[in-house]
């Protein structure tokens, strides 16, 4: 499988590329009061309002450091109604894509109930790389729209 490598603080993570729509540069995000701490904001992606999750905040508890290599990874997900949506994932040092065998990731012996999206781990050149399961991630962030969120281009003013 083809995977995208990136960092959250000094730890390397990966996601499968089959769900990655695009890797976008950092843009100004619309802040939303009273949203979860890991919610970085919304932005307009080609006429679609996209929620962005700060993966550093979600996983490690601190804000993503903005670097030249920090990016918003745009991924596709299906909501509970089966409608396709886009989710932005803010990550540091989005570096490259590599091929990994499907069976290369070993499940850790301890799993977190609060982070079931954290999957298997693979070793590469003495460094651990943890897999983030994009099938489980949307269920763990509860501000995502279940159905049509009613936002369109005319509502953006």
pLDDT tens digits, one per residue of 105-156: 888 777 777 777 888 888 888 889 999 988 888 777 766 655 544 444 434 4
Answer yes or no: is 153 within a domain: no
Residue 146: the pLDDT is: 52
Whether pTM > 0.85 for this model: the answer is no
Q: Contact, 76 vs 88, CB < 8 A? A: no
Specify the CATH number for the domain of residue 42: 2.40.50.180
Answer yes or no: is 154 within a domain: no
Answer yes or no: is 95 within a domain: yes
Answer yes or no: is 98 within a domain: yes
Q: Contact, 96 vs 5, CB < 8 A? A: yes
The dihedrals phi and psi of 103, each to the nearest 5 degrees, come to -90, 10
Answer yes or no: is 114 within a domain: yes
DSSP for 75-129?
EEEE-TTS-EEEEEEEEEEEEEEEE--GGGPBPPSS--TT-TTEEEEEEETTEEE
DSSP for residue 44: E
Distance from C-alpha of 71 to C-alpha of 23, rounded to nearest angstrom = 7
Answer yes or no: is 156 within a domain: no
Q: Contact, 19 vs 4, CB < 8 A? A: no
pLDDT tens by residue, 78-104: 777 778 889 999 999 998 999 998 888
**Residue range(s) defining the domain that contains residue 26:** 2-147
In the chain, the number of structural domains is 1
Answer yes or no: is 108 within a domain: yes
Closest CA to 108 of 125, 86, 131, 137: 131
């Amino acid at each position: 499988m083809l995977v995208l490598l990136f960092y959250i603080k000094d730890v390397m993570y990966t996601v499968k590329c089959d769900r990655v729509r695009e890797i976008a540069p950092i843009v100004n995000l619309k802040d939303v009061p009273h949203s979860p701490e890991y919610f970085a904001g919304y932005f307009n992606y080609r006429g679609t309002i996209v929620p962005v999750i700060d993966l550093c905040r979600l996983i490690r508890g601190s804000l993503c450091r903005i670097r030249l290599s920090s990016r918003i990874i745009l991924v596709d997900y299906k909501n509970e109604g089966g409608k396709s949506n886009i989710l932005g994932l803010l990550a540091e040092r989005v570096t490259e894509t590599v091929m990994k065998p499907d069976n290369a990731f070993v499940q850790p012996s301890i799993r977190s109930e609060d982070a079931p999206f954290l999957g298997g781990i693979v070793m590469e050149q003495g460094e651990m790389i943890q897999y983030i399961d994009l099938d489980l991630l949307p269920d763990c962030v509860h501000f995502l729209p279940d159905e049509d969120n009613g936002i369109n281009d005319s509502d953006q003013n």
